[in-house]
């Protein structure tokens, strides 16, 4: 089950039997709007705070995933999730509503694949039959915590990224029909000494490369094994930096095979500067867009490498460098897997 130092092989192939994806108005105007289950017309969702709106979206994503399956919510044994807000309160409050045994997780924007990797690990080892795995983020809530309230209209440099408003959830099961989780490589915290919180893509690039390199080495495969290698939210800058680093290490991945969720979710012309970010970014794009392509037969194998910047408002104020992490999960079509 453990290959090398940090890669799990899931021999029992846990199944993603259903997913739920929720977005806000900006996402509704984006590039993959048809891949959402629910799209909201306003940022507030009839709540009195952005954090409560984020909580509602997480609840909705979980409820949709269960509704699209053949099981009842009471059959779900665990809920694995987290977010960016202080003490992951939107997720914890959603867990209260869902009334499920709960693991609260934090790997910043890498939380989507951290939760999926752990869900697959539990199910592969007969620790559960059904697990809800996902995450959420909200543009206005995240801006308020990490930068300035959006009402201030603060200007940002072109290296900064736009936090996604939405939630993505997968229902992972021991048996069923759907794409299967075949392996996961757990990331290490990588600190390149960068201190600019407005260039998270550049800071996260090295963590993505470290995990990708370890995954190929420990699984003894090369990039051609996958139809797509999908990073979380490196954006334009992080993607280019990571491609250069991969090439330096002899991993020559064709540009068309190396895609980024932060460059997929929005359309050309939306003012997102270097691309999208946020814990919901990789969850929504993976569980909505790419798994839909897999179900249509257009993809057979994908490696999703969610990236996270592990800084906080306090560490930024103290001028600390930004530590980053990336977790990789391989997902394959549920049939004809060699």
DSSP secondary structure of 198-221: T-HHHHHHHHHHHHHHHHHHHHT-
**pLDDT tens digits, one per residue of 261-314:** 999 999 999 999 999 999 999 999 999 999 999 999 999 999 999 999 999 999
pTM of the model: 0.96
Residue 53 clears pLDDT 90, i.e. is over it:
yes
Residues of the chain with pLDDT > 70, as a percent, come to: 99
Helix residue ranges per DSSP H, the chain:
25-28, 50-67, 89-98, 111-124, 139-146, 200-219, 235-248, 279-284, 291-295, 313-317
DSSP annotation of 48: S
Write down how long the chain is: 338
Collect all residues with Cβ–Cβ distance below 8 Å to 234 and sequence separation of at least 6: 201, 204, 205, 208, 241, 242, 260, 262, 275, 307
Q: Which domains does the chain have, with CATH numbers?
A: 2-173 (3.40.47.40), 180-332 (3.40.47.40)
Q: How far apart are CA 4 and CA 132, in angstroms?
A: 28
Q: What is the mean pLDDT of the chain?
A: 95
Higher pLDDT, 39 or 150: 39
Higher pLDDT, 247 or 153: 247
Which whole number is the average pLDDT over 250-256? 94
Collect all residues with Cβ–Cβ distance below 8 Å to 185 and sequence separation of at least 6: 6, 7, 8, 211, 214, 215, 218, 219, 327, 328
For the ranges 19-23, 112-116, 158-162, 328-332, the lowest mean pLDDT is seen at 158-162
pLDDT computed for residue 336 by the predictor = 42
Which whole number is the average pLDDT over 228-238? 97
Residue 338 clears pLDDT 60, i.e. is over it:
no
Q: What is the dihedral of CA 184, 189, 192, 198, to 10 degrees?
A: 90
pLDDT computed for residue 337 by the predictor = 41
Which whole number is the average pLDDT over 204-214? 98
The position carrying tokens 């370890």 is: 214
pLDDT computed for residue 148 by the predictor = 74
335 pLDDT tier (thresholds 50, 70, 90): low
pLDDT computed for residue 98 by the predictor = 97
Q: At what angle do helices 50-67 and 89-98 cross, to 10 degrees?
A: 40
Tell me if 162 sits within 8 A of 29, measured CB to CB: no
**pLDDT tens digits, one per residue of 132-178:** 999 999 999 999 999 878 877 888 889 999 999 999 999 999 999 99
**pLDDT tens digits, one per residue of 73-102:** 999 999 999 999 999 999 999 999 999 999
């Amino acid at each position: 089950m453990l290959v090398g130092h940090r890669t799990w092989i899931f021999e029992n192939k846990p199944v993603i039997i259903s997913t739920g994806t929720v977005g806000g108005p900006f996402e509704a105007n984006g590039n993959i709007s048809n891949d959402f289950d629910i799209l909201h017309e306003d940022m507030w969702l009839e709540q009195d705070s952005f954090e409560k709106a984020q909580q509602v979206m997480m609840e909705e994503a979980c409820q949709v995933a269960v509704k699209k399956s053949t099981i009842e919510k009471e059959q779900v044994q665990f809920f694995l999730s987290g977010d960016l807000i202080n003490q992951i309160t939107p997720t914890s409050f959603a867990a209260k509503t869902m009334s499920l045994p709960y693991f609260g997780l934090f790997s910043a924007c890498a939380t989507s694949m951290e939760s999926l990797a752990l869900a697959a690990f539990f199910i592969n080892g007969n620790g559960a039959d059904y697990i809800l795995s996902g995450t959420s983020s909200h543009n206005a809530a995240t801006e308020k915590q990490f930068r300035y309230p959006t009402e201030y209209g603060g200007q940002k440099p072109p290296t900064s990224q736009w936090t996604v408003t939405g939630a993505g959830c997968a229902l992972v099961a021991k048996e069923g029909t759907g794409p299967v989780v075949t392996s996961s490589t757990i990331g290490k915290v990588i600190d390149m000494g960068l201190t600019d919180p407005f260039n998270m893509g550049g800071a996260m690039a090295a963590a993505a490369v470290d995990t990708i390199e370890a995954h190929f080495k420990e699984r003894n495969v090369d990039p051609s094994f996958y139809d797509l290698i999908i990073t979380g939210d490196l954006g334009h800058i992080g993607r280019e930096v990571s491609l250069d680093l991969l090439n330096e290490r002899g991993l020559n991945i064709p540009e068309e095979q190396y895609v980024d969720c932060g460059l997929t979710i929005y359309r050309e012309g939306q003012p997102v500067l270097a691309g999208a970010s946020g814990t919901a970014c990789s969850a929504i794009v993976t569980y909505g867009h790419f798994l839909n392509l897999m179900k249509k037969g257009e993809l057979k194998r994908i490696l999703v490498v969610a990236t996270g910047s592990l800084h906080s408002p306090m560490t930024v104020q103290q001028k600390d460098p930004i530590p980053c992490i990336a977790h990789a999960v391989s997902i394959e079509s549920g049939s004809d897997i060699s």
